[in-house]
Amino acid sequence: MQSPLLRSFSRRARELTALTLGTFLLAACAHSDNGDALIVETEEHTLAVTTVTDGLNHPWGLAFLPNGDMLVTERGGDMRVVSADGTKGDPLAGLPAIQSRGQGGLLDVTLHPNFEQNRRVYFAYSEPGDGGASTAVAYGTLGDGGLTDVTRIFSQVPKLTDNGHWGSRLVFDDEGHLFITLGDRRAQDEAQSLENHIGTVVRLHDDGRIPEDNPYVDHDTALPEIWSYGHRNIQGADLHPQTRELWTGEHGPQGGDEINHTRATLNYGWPVITHGEQYGGGTIGEGITHKEGMEQPLHYWVPSIANAGMTFYTGEAFPAWQGNLLVTALRSQLLSRLVFDGEDVAHEERMFSDTIGARLRHVVQGPDGLLYLLTDERNGRILKVAPASE
């Protein structure tokens, strides 16, 4: 059996190989009309992939500011502004205490729908406290060099000592409600409880108040902020471009990664039902995939791709992709493009699995209609995906 030290060395060697390969490809696959771009042929479009900036410590979330600059979080605990030309600002001041361990740290970031008036930035993070840590959400006012008037509006209960499965995507709906996706913190059986926030999606007003039309407001034992439950670890979320309802992407265990249409009161089954299995093999619970009263995913992956961030594409730069769901993957180092017929997946295209050479944490559509990818590395990058010039 391989020793822990050798396993650690081998893992680091693979990471360095992937990083070297990705750097080589981005530098070497140049095209005379596209500068230093990696040219990638896909089923519908020819893409030019360039590096906007690098040197980010495991970037996790990205939000575009009105002037085209990018607000980026790094899992290690820093938030900074990156200009359109790739210039990185200094870490912003004013953030609260953040526990950066394992999968936790500074996580997603989004802007208030009225950002241009109130300058509010919302962010999710691992909050230390009595009993361990939990996912929390706060907002602050963005000014020169930092955030002021930082106010915490949510803290997952209970706090736990485990350092995995934090969830943490933030999505505002068209009415200004904030959805917060939460992981099971590896306390998987608690994801079937409505008495805590383990493995749930939460819905709040922008100031943390509970909407009066939340599904469990008048329930005797359920927490009134809960929207849905039975989730494992949601790291992708977006509003459907036509229905404007919440869709989420959820990490499965070994296999069974999911895409779900995430509706109020519904139970998404974890850990009672899953299309995955234990790491290393073996059934989870009774080893069943269906049970009455529990939702089936719209799409799932076996084997696992380790899906992370996701976005519905609505721009003009890639017209053949409009309405498609784009999903990044960590383990498989790819971008999945899902084409839907209603809510059924009619086709999947997998891109970048043998070219970029890095775990892909998130995908965001920019105001220019181009795509921006975050690579989950110590030397993390923002990559821009544009149509290749003729």
For the segment 255-260, the average pLDDT, to the nearest whole number, is 98
For the segment 222-243, the average pLDDT, to the nearest whole number, is 98
Range of the domain at 381: 4-387
- pLDDT at residue number 390: 55
CA distance 383 to 388: 14
- pLDDT at residue number 36: 87
Q: What is the mean pLDDT of the chain?
A: 92
Q: Please confirm whether the linkage preceding 96 is cis (ω < 30° from 0).
A: no
For the segment 304-313, the average pLDDT, to the nearest whole number, is 98
Give strand pairing partners of 179.
171, 203
Q: In 10 A of CB 28, how many CB atoms?
A: 9
Residue 290 sits in a domain whose CATH number is 2.120.10.30
- pLDDT at residue number 98: 98
Tell me the H-state helices in 93-189.
115-118
- pLDDT at residue number 30: 37
- pLDDT at residue number 4: 38
C-beta contacts of 322-325 below 8 A and 24+ residues apart: 323/241, 323/242, 325/238, 325/247, 325/259
Residues with a known catalytic role: 165
Residues in Cβ contact with 199 at an 8 Å cutoff, skipping those fewer than 6 apart:
182, 183, 184, 188, 190, 191, 192, 229, 230, 231, 232, 270
Q: Please confirm whether the linkage preceding 271 is cis (ω < 30° from 0).
A: yes
Three-state secondary structure call for residue 189: helix
The pTM of the full predicted model, rounded to 2 decimals, is 0.91
Task: Look at the chain and report how many structural domains it folds into.
Answer: 1
How is 144-167 classified by DSSP, letter by letter?
Answer: TTEEEEEEEEEE-SS-BS------
Looking up tokens 């010039």 gives 389
Asked whether the predicted pLDDT for residue 131 surpasses 60, the reply is: yes
Tokens of 70: 């990018």
Binned at pLDDT 50, 70 and 90, residue 35 comes out as low
Asked whether the predicted pLDDT for residue 20 surpasses 70, the reply is: no
Residues in Cβ contact with 249 at an 8 Å cutoff, skipping those fewer than 6 apart:
234, 235, 236, 237, 257, 258, 259, 260, 307, 308, 309, 310, 327
- Residues 300 and 275 sit within 8 Å (Cβ to Cβ): yes
